[in-house]
Structure 1
Amino acid sequence: MSWCLDTLKVTGIGQAEMSSLCSFEFDAASEEEQFLVVNGERKVVINTLTFKQSVLDKELYGKKDIVHFIKVIDDTLDHLRPEDVKLISEKYFEKTSQKLTVLQNYKY
């Protein structure tokens, strides 16, 4: 059975959009890193999940790696909520000194 998860997809420097990933897509991810600890006691974290493009796709077609922010609670994936997006934006600004503009293309 397939399932999907609400995420935040980076679309450019300082830009992201609400998106989703489905269970079958997670196998294609190449790298996961911790971005933000939301609650250490409950083990709530926001991670980045990177889907790397091949060197050929980058050179010939100008494709870029795709990065999603995902939420993990006690080692279980969970949907991003508006308050999570706010925390991501704040941490992004702290790390880069740039405001993160988030496009929301569907309702919660």
Structure 2
Amino acid sequence: MEVGKKTLTEEQATALVEGIKEVSTIVDEAKIGLDKAMSKLTVSVRQAQELVGEVSAGKVSDLDTFEAWIEATRAQKRFTAKVVLDEISAFRAAIENEKALRSMYKDTTSTSKRATGL
């Protein structure tokens, strides 16, 4: 074998390590996105509670203001729900990808060990 030339197993191992690093980054990003989505959901709930308080206290004096608040709250809830579902899906996909990569890594190392007689 030439000096500095990697074997097929070394190349596969390197590719798997890179794949696992990439999946780890995706999982971290999904966690950050989920945290942001949950923060927005908290804001949405708080705003809805404020609206209920204002309506109960008689502070909303006209129907247009009330309808504007309702529409804004609905839009934020729809957006937040979509973001949360997207982030959960991305997180699940990243976990499945990581499991698949780890499985491939185990298969590669066991094949390599069998080939070398270890």
What range is the shorter-chain TM-score in? under 0.3
Give the TM-score of the pair, scaled to structure 1.
0.21
Q: Could you say which structure has the higher helix fraction?
A: 2
Q: Which has the higher contact order (CA 8 A, sep 6+)?
A: 2
Give the TM-score of the pair, scaled to structure 2.
0.20
Q: Could you say which structure has the higher strand fraction?
A: 1
Larger Rg: 2
